[in-house]
Amino acid sequence: MATAEIAVPDPAALSSSQQRGTQCVWCTIALTNGTARNLGPRPIDAHGTSVLWFPRCCHHCWDERGLAEWR
Ligand SMILES: [Zn+2]
């Protein structure tokens, strides 16, 4: 199955730390540059303006969701 991007939670439902990429978007564990996996930039609406969001997750959630193919 060719999917354009990894499905992530609605950013509006996440904490500011998750939106900033300092916590995993799924399990909220604190992330560092060494432990975070980038999920790819995606456009979101911020007060009527389209901006790019860079969600990140931890290795555990990455593996659990079988995202290894995304690298
Ligand atoms: Zn996680």
Q: Smallest Cα–Cα separation from 24: which of 43, 51, 67? A: 67
Angle at 22 between CA 57 and CA 29, to 5 degrees: 60
Residues with CB under 5 A from ligand 1 (ion): 24, 26-27, 58, 61
> pLDDT tens, position by position, for the chain (71 residues)?
445 678 899 998 999 999 999 999 999 999 999 999 999 999 888 889 999 999 999 999 999 998 876 55
> How is residue 61 written in tokens?
């959630």
Q: Ligand 1 centroid to 52 CA: how many Å?
A: 21
Q: Ligand 1 centroid to 14 CA: how many Å?
A: 13
Would you call 29 helix, strand, or coil by DSSP? coil
Q: Ligand 1 centroid to 58 CA: how many Å?
A: 4
Distances (CA, A) of 6 to 40, 47, 48, 49, 69: 8, 24, 24, 22, 11
Q: Where are the domains of the chain?
A: 15-70
